[in-house]
């Protein structure tokens, strides 16, 4: 009985010891969270720190709880194995480890964050303003030689004298201007360039001690030279189309229209231009001595003024007409003129006949050759008839005239006058003269067909013909012999005398 009582006492003491050891870590760990206050309310106040509170509270609890439960359960068994269990071993693991690891982690994390924020705030202060520097400028970067330059300075000392010097390497040019700034430290003056071209200029402003305070540069572009450009030279074909190629399908003696443009730039401008057109190619006359200046049409701007200076005159096988062209303002005009083919133009050889332009002085120039060809071999050939009255039998040629009937009718042709421009083909020639005369014969290619008529045919091989008409007086009435068809006394119409055939 006594031994049983002793065992119960020992068991109770062991159980009590285990219970005390279970709560001992909690009692020891409380000072870590309370920071000097051991009450439960002090532990709650420290928990707002997110990084400190979860580590000591969660980690110790799961380590202690599983060790208490298996130890208490076997205490009811009266075995002596309960006493020697190393119940003290969990104490150093729970109480010491959390305290030593948590304390040093709090200080280094909080302190650098506060210092970093303070440093960034101090570096955000605005920089100090830089005062304006003295400057000298011109109102443009580039000028014409006739322009005036405006030179201006600012941000200099107020009411202070300075020297502004403009120089150029061309002709060793130098202009010195003494200026005084106003109350705002500014100055301005004007410099005429006087029409002299100098490509580069420099400006330097110096103070009374010859110290350079500010500089700048500007350039000078030369004034473009006056210019009159001749271009777009063309001729009009017989169908009305304009072309700078072959001008075709004209007949001998026809007129042909030509035109070209004159563009005037950088006025005032003036000059001369020649219109040169084929005269004689060595075989025949192509263009006649004929030139008509037509209208001057406006294309743009101000219409140029165009007049005939001289011509036509012959030079090296060409007719030459010189024109004056001028303009007081920029513009472009179309100049029309007219030429005339000779009556033998189609009989000339080759295809080099033309009308062309040639600058002849002043501001005139041209774009390209401006040569318009008019081939002779494409000119329609026309014929001519020259009727002449013979003086035989005492006839007076001035008493007769001739008329033509055919493709190109004509009338009132005097003896020996060439009637040209005739379309090739057959013609009847009729003479008209004083009474008492009759056509006796016709020489040449013409054929007598009546007492006052003859016929002839014009062809490409014989386009031009000349015929002589010979007349004789009508026989006296009453000789009794019918010696001509128109004898007045034939058949006794005049004196009842019957004529007999010879």
State mean pLDDT over 484-488. Answer: 55
Q: How far is CA 475 from CA 94, 277, 426, 437, 448, in A?
A: 180, 58, 33, 9, 20
pLDDT for the residue 32: 44
pLDDT for the residue 56: 42
Q: What is the CATH number of domain 227-378?
A: 2.60.40
Written out in words, the top-level CATH class of the domain with range 135-220 is mainly beta
Q: Which tens digits make up the pLDDT trace of 135-163?
A: 999 999 999 888 999 999 999 999 999 99
Place of tokens 């071209």: 197
Residue 382 or 47, more confident: 382
Residues 389, 392, 394: CA angle, nearest 5 degrees? 100
Radius of gyration of the chain, Cα coordinates, nearest whole angstrom:
65
pLDDT for the residue 349: 81
Residue range 383-492 in CATH 1.10.10: no
pLDDT for the residue 65: 43
pLDDT for the residue 325: 97
Residue 88 or 124, more confident: 124
Contact at 8 Å (CB) between 318 and 230?
no
pLDDT confidence band for 429 (50 / 70 / 90): very high
pLDDT for the residue 18: 72
392-400's contacts with Cβ under 8 Å and 24+ in sequence apart are 392/470, 392/471, 392/472, 393/440, 393/470, 393/471, 393/472, 393/473, 394/473, 395/433, 395/437, 395/470, 395/471, 399/433, 399/434, 400/431, 400/432, 400/433, 400/469, 400/471
pLDDT for the residue 116: 42
Q: At what angle do helices 90-122 and 2-34 cross, to 10 degrees?
A: 0
pLDDT for the residue 500: 55
Measured torsion, CA atoms of residues 34, 38, 40, 46, in degrees rounded to the nearest 10: -10
Q: Which tens digits make up the pLDDT trace of 240-250?
A: 999 999 999 99
Cα 353 to Cα 467: distance, rounded to the nearest angstrom: 33
Contact at 8 Å (CB) between 467 and 449?
no
pLDDT for the residue 339: 98
Q: Which tens digits make up the pLDDT trace of 26-38?
A: 544 444 443 444 3
State mean pLDDT over 379-396. Answer: 93
pLDDT for the residue 303: 96
């Amino acid at each position: 009985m006594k031994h049983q009582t002793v065992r119960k006492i020992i068991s109770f003491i062991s159980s009590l010891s285990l219970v005390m050891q279970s709560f001992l870590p909690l009692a020891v760990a409380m000072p870590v969270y309370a920071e000097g206050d051991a009450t439960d309310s002090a532990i709650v106040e420290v928990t707002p720190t997110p990084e400190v509170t979860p580590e000591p509270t969660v980690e110790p609890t799961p380590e202690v709880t599983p060790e208490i439960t298996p130890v208490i359960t076997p205490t009811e068994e009266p075995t002596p194995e309960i006493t020697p269990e190393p119940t003290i071993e969990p104490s150093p693991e729970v109480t010491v480890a959390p305290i030593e690891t948590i304390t040093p982690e709090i200080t280094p994390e909080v302190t650098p964050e506060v210092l970093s924020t303070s440093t960034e705030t101090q570096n955000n202060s605005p920089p100090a303003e830089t005062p304006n520097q003295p400057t000298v400028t011109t109102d443009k970067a580039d000028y014409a030689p006739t322009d005036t330059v405006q030179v201006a300075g600012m941000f200099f000392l107020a009411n202070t004298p300075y020297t502004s010097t403009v120089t150029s390497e061309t002709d060793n040019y130098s202009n010195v201007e003494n200026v005084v700034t106003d109350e705002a430290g500014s100055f301005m003056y004007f410099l005429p360039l006087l029409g002299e071209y100098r490509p580069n200029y420099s400006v330097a402003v110096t103070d009374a001690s010859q110290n350079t305070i500010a500089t700048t540069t500007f350039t000078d572009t030369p004034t473009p030279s006056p210019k009159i450009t001749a271009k777009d030279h063309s001729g009009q074909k017989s169908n009305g189309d304009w072309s700078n190629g072959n001008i075709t399908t004209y007949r001998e003696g026809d007129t042909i229209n030509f035109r070209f443009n004159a563009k005037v730039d950088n006025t005032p401008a003036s000059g001369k231009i020649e219109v040169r057109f084929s005269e004689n190619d060595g075989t025949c006359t192509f263009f006649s001595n004929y030139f008509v200046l037509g209208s001057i049409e406006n294309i743009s701007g101000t219409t140029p003024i165009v007049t005939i200076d001289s011509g036509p005159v012959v030079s090296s096988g060409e007719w030459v007409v010189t024109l004056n062209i001028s303009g007081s303002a920029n513009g472009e005009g179309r100049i029309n003129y007219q030429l005339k083919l000779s009556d033998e133009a189609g009989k000339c050889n080759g295809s080099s006949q033309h009308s062309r332009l040639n600058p002849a002085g002043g501001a005139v120039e041209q774009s390209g050759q401006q040569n318009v060809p008019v081939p002779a071999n494409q000119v329609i050939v026309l014929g001519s008839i020259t009727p002449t009255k013979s003086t035989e039998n005492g006839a007076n040629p001035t008493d007769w005239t001739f008329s033509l009937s055919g493709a190109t009718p004509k009338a009132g042709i005097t003896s020996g006058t060439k009637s040209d421009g005739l379309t090739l083909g057959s013609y009847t020639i009729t003479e008209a003269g004083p009474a008492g005369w009759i056509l006796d014969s016709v020489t040449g290619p013409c054929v007598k067909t009546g007492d006052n008529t003859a016929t002839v045919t014009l062809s490409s091989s014989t386009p031009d013909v000349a015929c002589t008409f010979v007349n004789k007086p009508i026989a006296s009435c009453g000789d009794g012999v019918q010696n001509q068809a128109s004898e007045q006394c034939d058949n006794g119409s005049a004196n009842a005398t019957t004529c007999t055939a010879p």
